[in-house]
Every structure is written in C-alpha cells, then in structure tokens.
Amino acid sequence: MPFTELPIEKAFTLLEPGPVTLVTTSEHGRNNIMTITWHMVMDFTPKIAMETGPWNYSFGALMRTKECAVCIPAVDLAEKAVSIGCCSGSDTDKFKKFALTPLPAHSIGAPLIGECVACIECRVLDYIEEHGIFVLTGIRAYTNCERKERRTFHAKGDGTFSVDGAALDMRSLMAGKLPPGV
Amino acid sequence: MPFTELPIEKAFTLLEPGPVTLVTTSEHGRNNIMTITWHMVMDFTPKIAMETGPWNYSFGALMRTKECAVCIPAVDLAEKAVSIGCCSGSDTDKFKKFALTPLPAHSIGAPLIGECVACIECRVLDYIEEHGIFVLTGIRAYTNCERKERRTFHAKGDGTFSVDGAALDMRSLMAGKLPPGV
C-alpha cells in the first residue's frame, strides 16, 4: 500500500489547484475510471463539485452507488489520463487496459488508483440534475509517499495541458485567511 | 484597449486549467474585485460554476446586478491577487489600492481588468443557494495581446501556489473529443 492518510481537512488542497483527476467507481465487481477536469472545491470539509452526465458510462454507477474515489495523477500518467477519457467502461476494463492498480479503499467500494499521487474517498451528497453537478463529500484522503514525480497537470480543454512549474509561497500574506489545520 | 476578442466557444479554455481568477462587479458606480479559485467549467457555451457566499462583499452586488467579469491574472499579479482576497470592498477601492485599471466591458456593467491576461464577461443564470453555487454564462471573452508574461497560477489553498510550467500537446490523442471551434 503506497498511500499514507492525509488529514481530511487538507484534502481540498489537492483539488483547489484544478488538476486533471481520475475518478473511479465500482458496481457489481466492475471497476471503472473517468477523467474529470471539471471540478471545484466548495468548502473545507471538503465538499467538492463535479460536472458530468449520462454521456459518461460512470454516471450510472455513480448515481446508484453514490461513491467514488477522486484520484490525482502526476504528469507521467498524462497520456493514460487522456486515453482513459477517450474510451468507455461499457466495453473496456480501464484498469487492465492502462495497467493501473485498483487498491481497496477504506470506506467506499470504489478503488484507489495505486499509481496516483493522491486519492480522496468520496460519497455523493447530492446531484443537481438541472445543472449536471454532483456534490461530493470527501471522507478520507491519501498521498502516495513512494512517488518521486509529483507534478500534476492541468487541461486547457483544447488538447493541450500545462504542467506544474515554479512554486510560490505566500503563506505569510494569507495567514489570516487559512483554515485551521492547513 | 489591450484586449482582443476571443471567440466565445474558446472561453472555457481560459478556466478549465483552474487558475486563480479576479472577479469584478459594479453597483451604483462602485467597482469591486474578489479573488476566486473555487470555479469550474460546466459546458462549452460556456457555463461556469463559481462558489461564493455572503461572506464576500461582492456577493450582494453579484446577486443584485447579475453580472460580473471573470478575469485571469498572470503570475506577476500573484501578490496583488492574494492581497485583493485579504481585504474587503466594503471599505476599500481595490482598483485604486492595487493600481489596476477598470476598462469598460461591452455587454455588462462590471469592468474588465486591464492588467489581466484574459477576461470573460458573464451573466448570472442561477444561484443554487443550498450549495452556494453561482451558475454563470460567458457572453464575451478577451485576451490581452500586449502582455508578455502569460503564465497563470494555481492556488493550493494553504498559502502556496503553482505557476504554469511545461506545456504538453495531446491534441492528436484527443482529436475525436474536442468541441467545434477549439
């Protein structure tokens, strides 16, 4: 098990930068993965919004099981992440096809992805049908301590991506605004 | 006017990577700016989700005027963007304090920010009160052609940020998935 638990109050920091994510579901013993870039932090608990709909094969499993793991790949998985988004779980075992390792989660049936930098176990709190928004709550979070490559990547939506570059530290400027435990 | 119009069907590509944004409002002749990192693309038209609430002074103006400009700063504005998020429009003229230039938009009363890399004029379509989500529709978009520094930056939520680094081109891998005009 490459994952170490991360305090849940820090889980939002995995998603706030807006990385490409791989979201797993599992139903009737079949694991699936979808590539999601349309997501948003909603609060620090964390609540997470995610935009998807029936055009994604994972949608049905997500609606019925009300569970998923939001996993964050590093840049060495970029081609796999794009390819995962270009095929369907209806006829493809994506873990097998892309040589990814499903690892058991603690509180949900959907698997963690062993090769990712981090994963968040989530439950579906609500689905806002009018707007296609899933509202998730993160219940456990993990980081992969065995990984050297930790740079995440961001989709521009036109087939190009930007990789994490320089880091800026403005903690002192923001000290009064940071939530407890972060 | 440093801005050149961008086809509206490309506007979602400005936000999909998840950059820090500066969102302007204007009411009774008073311009304001809030720093927003909790946003998400909802579709290609584009519809945009943005999480905020009454704790932001801009919230009232946004609810009443139903208009805002979502502007994207480059990394040379990172300190200003953080500082804008740490003071309130209730007692501060943020354009004046941070030496930013409000430029008239075409279709909305809220101003564009002359120093930003890009801006999207938006109207509020809906406010999902239960979840604090504004649903915006982008109606015009612009890029700032005069700017050399175009790297955007991403908040981690803990006071640190990542700047855009290397670019990846996977257009050929995604060719079948790209929407028209992008």
**β-strands A39-41, A47-51 pairing:** antiparallel
- Under-70 pLDDT residues of chain A: none
Q: For B116-171, what is each residue's pLDDT tens digit?
A: 999 999 999 999 999 999 999 999 999 999 999 999 999 999 999 999 999 999 99
Q: Which of A43, A50, A52, A160 to mutate to test the interface with B (most CBs of B within 10 A)?
A: A160
Does residue B176 register a pLDDT over 90?
Answer: no
Q: Please report, as a single letter, which amino acid is at residue B142.
A: Y
Q: Report CB contact under 8 Å: A168, B38.
A: no
Q: Could you tell me the pTM of the whole model?
A: 0.97
Q: Report CB contact under 8 Å: B174, A85.
A: yes
Please state, rounded to an integer, the average pLDDT across all residues of chain B. Answer: 97
Q: For B76-128, what is each residue's pLDDT tens digit?
A: 999 999 999 999 999 999 999 999 999 999 999 999 999 999 999 999 999 99
Q: For B10-60, what is each residue's pLDDT tens digit?
A: 999 999 999 999 999 999 999 999 999 999 999 999 999 999 999 899 999
What domains appear along chain A, each with residue ranges and CATH number? 3-177 (2.30.110.10)
Within 8 A by CB and 6+ apart from A38, the residues are A50, A51, A52, B16, B40, B41, B42
Within 8 A by CB and 6+ apart from B70, the residues are B15, B21, B23, B36, B39, B48, B50, B119, B120, B122, B136, B138
A66: distance to nearest CA of chain B, Å?
18
Q: How many CA atoms lie within 13 A of B84 on its CB side?
A: 27
Name the residue among A42, A86, A167 with its Cβ closest to that of B176.
A86
In B57-92, which positions are buried (b, 16+ CB within 10 angstroms) versus exposed (e)? Answer: bbbebbeebbbbbbbbbbbebbebbbbbbeeebeee
Q: What are the C-alpha distances in Å from B16 to residues A102, B11, B39? A: 27, 9, 9
Q: Report CB contact under 8 Å: B157, A85.
A: no
For residue B126, the cross-strand partners are B135
Exposed/middle/buried for residue B143 (C-beta within 10 Å: 0-12, 13-18, 19+):
buried
